[in-house]
Amino acid sequence: MKVLKEIQKRRTFGIISHPDAGKTTLTEKLLLFGGAIQVAGAVKSNKIKRSATSDFMEIERQRGISVATSVMAFEYRGLKINILDTPGHQDFAEDTYRTLTAVDSVIVVIDVAKGVEAQTEKLVEVCRMRKTPIMVFINKLDREGLDAFDLLDELEQKLGLTVRPLSWPIGMGQRFKGVYSLYEQKLVLFRPHGKQKEEDTIEITDLKSADLEKHVGEAAARELREEVRMVEEVYPPLDRQAYLEGELSPVFFGSAINNFGVRELLDCFVEIAPAPLPRITEERMVAPGEDQFAGFVFKIHANMDPKHRDRIAFLRVCSGKFQRNTNYLHVRQNRKMKFANPTSFMADKKMVIDEAFPGDVIGLYDSGNFKIGDTVTEGEVLHFKGIPSFSPEQFRYVNNADPMKYKQLDKGLEQLMDEGVAQLFIKEDNGRKIIGTVGALQFDVIQYRLEHEYGARCSYEPLNLYKACWITCDDGKALKEFLDRRRKDIARDKHGQLVYLAESAWSLKMARENHPRVEFHFKSEF
């Protein structure tokens, strides 16, 4: 019974958006309203020494962007909220895709001035494929931006969402007066940088009331009444079941940097968002309420604390109850393991816990046993689906810039590749190391982290490749013939799997035609 009660208290969600839409700022303000932090950081300001709670890596503080998914937990209105703040930059999309396997719902943040951007389209497409419930927060209303109705049309056309506004802005930029909550039927007045105290909230259940003019002025009151009437006529009513099935997306307006509109979003979220959902494995469907514990690793982070060189595997609890110092089965290695210091997170702050329930994300100290996608259970052999590694799009040779530190370089590369930020290939003919990434920014991050976390320096050499494909073949003779003929294009990944490095689309096409028995794969299920 205790497990079922705890499951109902959990809400685990991810925050996704294009870079600069204000995702990390929104995360900060959710933590602030949840009482998890006392003062919000300035994500981009160099004048203020505080930086956002979720951006805890040194390189994130310097660049003002998120490059790794952060996990934060806090209590709000008797519920336990788990937020996963993801990188918005497309060069780190792979980290975000994997994180989406560990959440039960998402909040998409849209910049009111820029509307729907390319990276947002890709991420929402992944959510829609998985039928993940989506809420939308339209941010930065204190600035001039697109018309609210135009934005809603864009959400429907570009993202394929069916939307339902649950709050509505009164003006924008200089004319921004506040937001009318359609969900709670309350008027919330805007105070720049205010704490949004109770006196800023006026309950107006009837928009015809003369009180409206008193608070926002005649013109704004007339405009609000007209627009709310249009919203009620044009958009479908809120249907929680449709939202839970990923078929209807509630939309909220606000300004996260001014703490505005965030509480309305959070209050509605805790009422309608799903508790932990079942998860699909290759063997069967795993329900949260099952007695037996099961969970999977969706992320690995090296050097959460550079002083201790620790690696932490982030595990999403899917069913049963996880307990400290209990023997569990590491399915891939087929061996029992126990964890003395499982932790819960507040960005880089960690706290040892004795138990965890479905929906929770816990950190397991790892000496190199885990890979992304690994399953941990009480004994049953399960393999959770949908945590792939994608074929990289950019490649460089990596060279040791300090021959005295080759051990540190090897260790650093091995640990950073385990995190899934990039992939390492070793050429069969000459043993040279190649790093493959989804985007160019990752090369800078790897170089920076190798130097500052491992004391190793590396340099890169350009390498023109079209694709790296994993290869398999049932016919030993056909495989040998392929490897002999393409020897200079063959490498192995860090798990020893064979990889074909195609120089161009044409060379890949020819390889497939000349070697029909060999299969080429563009993603490897870890």
**Which pLDDT band holds residue 89 (cuts at 50, 70, 90)?**
very low
One domain, residues 341 and 435 = no
One domain, residues 73 and 31 = yes
Determine, yes or no, domain membership for 217.
Answer: no
Q: How far apart are CA 443 and CA 445, in angstroms?
A: 5
Q: Which residue has the higher pLDDT, 200 or 299?
A: 299
CA 437 to chain centre: 18
Determine, yes or no, domain membership for 253.
Answer: yes
- Average pLDDT taken over every residue of the chain: 82
One domain, residues 443 and 393 = yes
One domain, residues 267 and 306 = no
pLDDT given at position 120: 83
- pLDDT 10s digits, 131-164: 899 999 999 988 898 999 999 999 999 999 999 9
**Which pLDDT band holds residue 49 (cuts at 50, 70, 90)?**
very low
Determine, yes or no, domain membership for 192.
Answer: no
pLDDT given at position 316: 92
Number of domains in the chain: 3
3-class SS string, 338-396: CCCCCEEEECCEEEECCEECCCCEEEEEECCCCCCCCEEECCCCCCECCCEEECCCEEE
One domain, residues 342 and 403 = no
Please report, for the domain that includes residue 462, its CATH number: 3.30.70.3280
H helix count then E strand count, the chain:
14, 33
**Residue 505 φ then ψ, to 5°:** -65, -35
Dihedral angle, C-alpha 257, 263, 266, 267, nearest 10 °: -170
Determine, yes or no, domain membership for 214.
Answer: no
Determine, yes or no, domain membership for 44.
Answer: yes
- Crossing angle of helices 441-454 and 406-418, rounded to 10°: 130
One domain, residues 268 and 284 = no
One domain, residues 445 and 398 = yes
Choosing from 272, 287, 320, the residue where a domain stops is 272
One domain, residues 373 and 304 = yes
Is 493 in a helix, a strand, or coil? strand
pTM for the full model? 0.75
One domain, residues 462 and 347 = no
DSSP class per residue in 434-477: EEEESSTHHHHHHHHHHHHHHS--EEEEE---SEEEEEE-S-HH
Choosing from 254, 272, 290, the residue where a domain stops is 272
Q: Are 257 and 183 in contact (CB under 8 A)?
A: no
- pLDDT 10s digits, 167-177: 998 888 888 88
Amino acid at 74: F
The neighbouring-strand residues paired with 342 are none
Q: How far apart are CA 152 and CA 159, in angstroms?
A: 10
pLDDT at 213 over 70: yes
Amino acid at 337: M
Q: Which two tokens stand for residue 54?
A: 């979720």
CB hemisphere CA count around 214 (13 angstroms): 8
One domain, residues 465 and 517 = yes
Question: Which of 34-48, 94-108, 500-514 comes out lowest in average pLDDT?
Answer: 34-48
Question: Which of 66-70, 283-287, 295-299 comes out lowest in average pLDDT?
Answer: 66-70
One domain, residues 345 and 403 = no
Choosing from 377, 407, 442, the residue where a domain stops is 377
pLDDT at 303 over 60: no
- pLDDT 10s digits, 19-31: 777 777 888 888 8
One domain, residues 413 and 364 = no
**Residue 374 φ then ψ, to 5°:** -65, 145
Domain that holds residue 428: 388-525
DSSP class per residue in 114-182: TBS-HHHHHHHHHHHHTT--EEEEEE-TTS----HHHHHHHHHHHH---EEESEEEES-GGG--EEEET
Determine, yes or no, domain membership for 179.
Answer: no
Q: How far apart are CA 328 and CA 323, in angstroms?
A: 9
Percent of the chain with pLDDT over 70: 83
pLDDT at 52 over 50: no
Please report, for the domain that includes residue 114, its CATH number: 3.40.50.300
Average pLDDT over residues 314-333: 93
**Which pLDDT band holds residue 70 (cuts at 50, 70, 90)?**
low
Distance between start and end Cα atoms, the chain: 35
- pLDDT 10s digits, 402-438: 888 888 898 888 878 877 768 899 999 889 999 988 7
Determine, yes or no, domain membership for 418.
Answer: yes
Angle at the Cα of 8 from the Cα atoms of 4 and 12, rounded to 5 degrees: 125
pLDDT given at position 371: 82
Q: How far apart are CA 251 and CA 166, in angstroms?
A: 6
Determine, yes or no, domain membership for 307.
Answer: yes
pLDDT at 360 over 80: yes
